[in-house]
A and B are shown apart, each in its own frame.
Chain A
């Protein structure tokens, strides 16, 4: 388990193992940025958070890369009243596996996102209205190049480690390829070097749900308006792909909603799993932008390292980082075989890459689990 209790800093921290209250900040650049598509922006903003302190040598920085629906808020709370901490709070904090007493931990919302970084919902400075789908197409490599500019501005000379699950893992690996000398360690979880047809298919159903909603209106809609039904359906469907048959059955089984007529022949929600998904969809539309969903799923679909570099071995030829690749047995979206393929290709390319497989039944989202084994691996690797 974590050593928060034994950590001297835990005495002064607001709560044991907690980074406490955090304030997001903005990196704003007015240097033009050219996307892989050739489209440009006159500048961009990345919203980010940091925890811990950069040491004098500037060599204790750990970058967290977020997944599709994640953001820069990965640890701590914005206000004392926040119901939930950041999305990876179980991993990041004083004495935790990513120990903020030792490391300067950073995380930025990706470009194309909707939590404060430049994206389709942020205003186009030229018109004052949201970019909508006039925003440049974003790739994983664009996300990485934009974040590098931000890290440079903070005086981070080298990353001690990068950690990411799912699309976060794609960014971490792309970082290691694009800036070999800048990245010392990569922790790549529940990811793939190229999406399978099945994974692209799921993303496409989500996009169609959004674009077929009349309120999408070709990507032109007011903030807080837009294709709320389509986005909710996209999220409901995607959520199923993040968990597993076993975990859903354990959580809901065939349990009926309180007050639902047991055998009523109606299409009203009857099963608990139905209300759960509905809740997932509804809470998502209040925090996520439908156009961002289109952009980011597209970026994930386009990610294909073997195609981009000729082969995986060629992609990894200049990587200098040591890697820890983690697969999860019940992940059927990016199954362990796809993580193994990355580790094996890194090894064939003569790189140092370890692979471990965690036996969990929670599906793709297993990388977010409170798992002592996961903590041990990460803590053991970050020395």
Chain B
């Protein structure tokens, strides 16, 4: 089975295409800094990552990245409107307590907001739930429910409904198949494994 880290090359490539060279980028839930590091290398961006976990901040510091340990909402509230060219939430929204507040605040401090998430509506997840009636277990959802962090799975249809309700403009999007590599053109809420959206107010 493909590990998520190996699966991530294409979504990172798409993000790199969307990010303007030398722009000011904030990565919410930056983890160990893999995405920011690649964007710094390829796009020479001024990058800031935010994460709650101190071991992850240490890993970012070791890579020479700028990283801030703390709550992402509190962090964003410390910045004026439009301070960042782009705010990225890559596989972050599923784990935050108030996704709507995070996106609203990201759209305030960022001129563009990029959201990437695993499509929970992917057909294999539906099938697993239908057949077994249990939490899906695969390369993405690796743990048992009782040893996983709280998560708030989102599907392509959920996210587009959210954007329509909030009247957020979708500037562009990229939908990837179950391999997270090929483009998914048909019935994305069913066939897309991974989704990327670029939003503006």
Footprint of B on A, CB under 8 Å?
A: 322, 324, 340, 343-344, 347-348, 350, 352-359, 373, 376-377, 380-381, 383
Contact = CB atoms under 8 A, between A and B. Distances in A.
Main secondary structure of the interface of A (DSSP, over half): mixed
A377 B75 CA distance: 21
B201 interface: no
Contacts of B67: 354-356
B159 to A, nearest CB: 29
B144 to A, nearest CB: 27
A383 B70 contact: no
B199 interface: no
Interface string B35-61: 000000000001010000011011011
B69 interface: yes
Contacts of A352: 46, 66
B79 A354 contact: no
Contacts of B69: 355-357
Name which of A340, A356, A357, A376 has the most chain B CB atoms within 10 A of its CB. Answer: A356
Contact of B78 (A348, A357, A373, A381): A348
A226 B184 CA distance: 82
B183 interface: no
Given A347-B48, A356-B69, A377 B64 contact: no
B75 to A, nearest CB: 8
Contacts of B70: 340, 355, 357
Nearest to B79: A348
Contacts of B54: 356-359, 373
Interface of B: 46, 48, 54-55, 57-58, 60-62, 64-70, 75, 78-80, 83
A380 B62 contact: yes
A107 B106 CA distance: 43
A38 B60 CA distance: 45
Q: Which 10 A-B pairs have the closest CB atoms?
A: A380-B62, A344-B78, A352-B66, A356-B57, A355-B68, A380-B61, A356-B69, A354-B67, A357-B69, A376-B58
Nearest to B48: A347
Nearest to B54: A356
Given A340-B70, A357-B69, A383 B58 contact: no
Nearest to B64: A383
A324 B46 CA distance: 16
Given A355-B57, A356-B54, 5 more contacts: A347-B79, A352-B46, A357-B69, A373-B58, A383-B64
A377 B61 CA distance: 7
A76 B78 CA distance: 42
25 contacts: A324-B61, A340-B70, A344-B75, A344-B78, A347-B48, A347-B68, A347-B79, A348-B80, A348-B83, A350-B46, A352-B66, A353-B66, A354-B57, A354-B60, A354-B66, A354-B68, A355-B57, A355-B67, A356-B57, A356-B61, A357-B70, A358-B54, A380-B58, A381-B61, A383-B64
Contacts of A377: 58, 61
A88 B62 CA distance: 22
A340 B54 CA distance: 14
Nearest to A357: B69
Contacts of A357: 54, 69-70
A357 B70 CA distance: 8
Contacts of B75: 344
Nearest to A355: B68
Nearest to A324: B61
Nearest to A340: B70
Nearest to B77: A344
A269 to B, nearest CB: 40
Contacts of A354: 57, 60-61, 65-68
A380 B62 CA distance: 4
A324 B58 CA distance: 11
A359 B80 CA distance: 29
Contacts of B80: 348
Contacts of A348: 78-80, 83
A352 B70 CA distance: 16
A322 B61 CA distance: 11
A344 B65 CA distance: 15
A127 to B, nearest CB: 51
B66 A356 contact: no
Q: Identify which of B57, B66, B70, B75 gathers the most chain A CB atoms within 10 Å of its CB.
A: B66
